[in-house]
Amino acid sequence: MTPIGSEIERLIQLLSRLPGLGPRSARRAALVLLKKRDTLLEPLAAAMTGAAAAILTCETCGNLDTISPCAICADARRDGHVLCVVEDVADLWALERAGVFRGRYHVLGGALSALDGVTPEKLNIAALAGRAKNGVDEVILAMNATVEGQTTAHYLTDLLTGVKVTRLAHGVPVGGELDYLDEGTLNAAFKARRAL
Amino acid sequence: MTPIGSEIERLIQLLSRLPGLGPRSARRAALVLLKKRDTLLEPLAAAMTGAAAAILTCETCGNLDTISPCAICADARRDGHVLCVVEDVADLWALERAGVFRGRYHVLGGALSALDGVTPEKLNIAALAGRAKNGVDEVILAMNATVEGQTTAHYLTDLLTGVKVTRLAHGVPVGGELDYLDEGTLNAAFKARRAL
Residue A176 has pLDDT above 90, yes or no: no
Cβ-count burial A78-88 (b if 16+ within 10 Å, e if not): beeebbbbbbb
Can you list the alpha helix ranges (DSSP code H) found in A55-88? 71-74
Q: Which helix (H) or strand (E) holds B107?
A: strand B103-107
Q: In chain B, what percentage of residues exceed pLDDT 90?
A: 76
- pLDDT, one tens digit per residue, over B91-114 is 999 999 999 899 999 999 999 999
Strand partners, A18: none
Query: Phi and psi of B65, rounded to 5°?
Result: -160, 175
Q: In chain A, what percentage of residues exceed pLDDT 90?
A: 76
A129–B contact, CB cutoff 8 A = no
Helices then strands, each counted (H, E), chain B: 8, 6
- The alpha-carbon gap from B39 to the nearest alpha carbon of chain A, in Å, equals 10
The DSSP secondary-structure symbol of A41 reads I
Average pLDDT, integer, range A96-125: 94
A84–B contact, CB cutoff 8 A = no
A96–B contact, CB cutoff 8 A = yes
Residues in chain A with CB shorter than 8 Å from the CB of B50 are 7, 10
- Confidence (pTM): 0.79
Confidence of residue A3 (pLDDT cuts 50, 70, 90): low
Closest partner CB to A47 (pick from B11, B21, B29):
B11
| Complex ipTM value | 0.80
Alpha carbon distance B18, A70 (integer Å): 29
Q: Work out the angle between the directed axes of helices B42-54 and A6-15 (0-180°, nearest 10).
A: 150
- The length of chain A in residues reads 196
The reported pLDDT for the residue numbered B41 is: 95
Q: Work out the angle between the directed axes of helices A42-54 and B23-35 (0-180°, nearest 10).
A: 50
Nearest to B168 by CA among B79, B103, B95: B95
Which residues lie closer than 8 Å to B90 by C-beta, 6 or more apart? A27, A28, A31
Strand partners, A60: none
Residues in chain A with CB shorter than 8 Å from the CB of B2 are 96-97
DSSP string, A97-127: HHT---EEEEE-SS--BTTTTB-GGGTTTHH
Closest partner CB to A11 (pick from B5, B51, B96):
B51
Closest partner CB to B25 (pick from A2, A19, A31):
A19
The reported pLDDT for the residue numbered B5 is: 72
- The alpha-carbon gap from B128 to the nearest alpha carbon of chain A, in Å, equals 21
What is the number of CB-based contacts under 8 A between chain A and chain B? 161
Which residues lie closer than 8 Å to A98 by C-beta, 6 or more apart? none
Query: Phi and psi of A111, rounded to 5°?
Result: -130, 155
Alpha carbon distance B136, B128 (integer Å): 11
A77–B contact, CB cutoff 8 A = no
- The alpha-carbon gap from B18 to the nearest alpha carbon of chain A, in Å, equals 6
Residue A121 has pLDDT above 80, yes or no: yes
